[in-house]
Amino acid sequence: MSQQASFGQLALTYCAKFLPLEVLHSAAGHYIGTRDTEGPVSRESREYFRSHTAAQRALERGGWSQLAIP
């Protein structure tokens, strides 16, 4: 298993914001991304997950793929 960053790479690259990764939710499902005080900033995971639990497990175990571009 490869070591993944614990911060949002797209949030840093495209928004100049150093934000921690967390599980977020949209109409499409749960995903790994970042948010600030104003709301969601970036979707970092290529995948959408069926549940918060599945997304949290993927985040903790590195079982997700980083999006290359927003």
Give pLDDT tens digits for 30-47: 999 999 999 999 999 999
3-state secondary structure (DSSP) of residue 53: helix
- Host domain of residue 47: 9-61
Cα dihedral across residues 41, 44, 47, 49: positive or negative? negative
Assigned domain for 3 exists = no
pTM, full prediction: 0.92
**Do 10 and 70 touch, CB atoms closer than 8 A?**
yes
Biggest alpha carbon–alpha carbon distance for the chain: 33
- Tell me, what's the pLDDT at 3? 58
> How many domains is the chain partitioned into structurally?
1
26 — alpha (psi -120 to 50), left (phi > 0) or beta? beta
Question: What is the tens place of the pLDDT at every residue in 7-35?
Answer: 999 999 999 999 999 999 999 999 999 99
What are the backbone angles phi and psi of residue 30, rounded to the nearest 5°? -85, 145
Assigned domain for 53 exists = yes
